[in-house]
A = this chain, B = another copy of it.
């Protein structure tokens, strides 16, 4: 058995709750025992990234964390946000591989070659995801009552997401892409797969599989 590969994971939701902070890392480690994850979050973003202003505010903090991880000799840096703040910059700058949740998921979606429905927490498709998938996106929906990743913990969130997923299916989507890693936090993919009847891409799993295939 070879040594585990160390991933530096960046959360863009500020939290003092250690369990919540570690959750994405633990999910990756449970799926891929060859990966070992250290998680850190940026400061002062209690609602994460959910619009242009919160994205801009997060960017320098994400870059600083990514550079710090690289200085500590991680094997890869992973930015656990479908908005991909700083991903392109860090990919050009760092010597270690860098993966972002949104870009990873959009590229994995491209492998299917079919029409994609984007389900998330923002009115617009995150910019990098839109660039990668282009005309393959048949629609994008945010359930009306969900504005930030915290709203995903509401008891009616799954019903609202399934309804949006069905609407995207009726618009011609053959695959659903979850455009917020908060949807991984609540493990929405298996339930949506059952209720909507389409393959569903979870951004945390997509990023984890990209890391696993290249490193392990």
Contacts and interface: CB of A to CB of B under 8 A. Distances in A.
Contacts of A175: 97, 214
Contacts of A114: 91, 97
A140 interface: no
A133 B212 CA distance: 20
Interface stretch (A9-17, A52-60, A65-73, A103-111): A103-111
Assign chain A's interface to a size class: 35 or more
A138 B173 CA distance: 35
A18 interface: no
A210 to B, nearest CB: 5
This protein's copies in its complex: 2
Interface string A70-113: 00000010000000000110011000011110011001101111
Interface string A1-45: 010000000000000000000000000000000000000000000
Contact of A111 (B2, B199, B200, B210): B210
A210 B91 contact: no
Contacts of A108: 107-108, 111, 209-210, 213-214
Contacts of A142: none
Nearest to A209: B209
